[in-house]
Structure 1
């Protein structure tokens, strides 16, 4: 969690309404609830604000894109080892599918991109270049 003062200041500016609602909720809870439960609820609100304020949507998107690109790189790296066992299939609709143990590629001939599925995760529109192109060519040659 980022404890930078500028980040918290920006969070307060961007989400002031959430902070106001949280403060009003805490005041109502402290006034109405007379048991230990009120302090648990107040602590939950404070912790919720701290967690929500520490991570922005952009931070979460950045983490998601890093994980996605790392998984795509892993898929591309595994293509070299699985090219010998890959099966190339030309479908009736003019598309092709290349399947191996962990990978499935599907695309339209001469489109320049393929849809890669690696261990259940699909990456739409991966450029058909480099290792990806070699994988498709090797699979096509092996199946003829």
Structure 2
């Protein structure tokens, strides 16, 4: 997915790209059915295949973006744990489970369990192992006053 490769491809195959674009616009303007979108997908896929981009490369790029986004969210959530620990509200259920809420975070866990579920701004970040940061957050929330 190197920009230099794309630039070189466009310089060498500009005529094929222009023809494909003309076909795309013609199909979009003339065909008014679901067939239109099937033809558009075939033309775009043909361009990708012709350019040498494989589905595996596209999948790898999507995975990289996903991993980067999740890692960024996890980092932000950890920073939020540190900054919002003072206002965290600890609520304990009778069965040993607890929920800690702040304006941006919700942490659910069970006493004695080394995993907690973290929800950051309404988006579940999955199960996290209890790290020093997480433990400090839980302890601070307990100090703030336990609910029922």
TM-score (norm 2): 0.65
Instruction: State how far apart, in whole Å, the 2-side matches of 1:74 and 1:93 are.
Output: 30
Residue 65 of structure 1 deviates from its aligned partner by 1.2
Equivalent position SS for 1:92: coil
Change (3 A) 1:133 1:91: same
Instruction: State how far apart, in whole Å, the 2-side matches of 1:101 and 1:124 are.
Output: 18
Range that drifts further, 41-50 or 95-104 = 41-50
Instruction: State how far apart, in whole Å, the 2-side matches of 1:83 and 1:50 are.
Output: 52
Matches within 5 A, 1:107-126: 107-126=109-128
Corresponding residue of 1:45: 42
Corresponding residue of 2:84: 82
| 1:105 correspondence with 2:107 | yes
| Among 142, 145, 148, the residue aligned to 1:143 | 145
Corresponding residue of 1:33: none
Change (3 A) 1:113 1:44: closer
RMSD between aligned alpha carbons?
Answer: 3.1
Instruction: State how far apart, in whole Å, the 1-side matches of 2:102 and 2:27 are.
Output: 56
Range that drifts further, 64-73 or 48-57 = 48-57
Corresponding residue of 2:13: none
Change (3 A) 1:106 1:62: same
Mind listing any 5+ residue stretches in structure 2 that lack a counterpart? 7-19, 31-35
Residue 58 of structure 1 deviates from its aligned partner by 2.5
Instruction: State how far apart, in whole Å, the 2-side matches of 1:47 and 1:93 are.
Output: 56
Instruction: State how far apart, in whole Å, the 2-side matches of 1:138 and 1:118 are.
Output: 18
Mind listing any 5+ residue stretches in structure 1 that lack a counterpart? 6-25, 31-35
Range that drifts further, 128-137 or 47-56 = 47-56
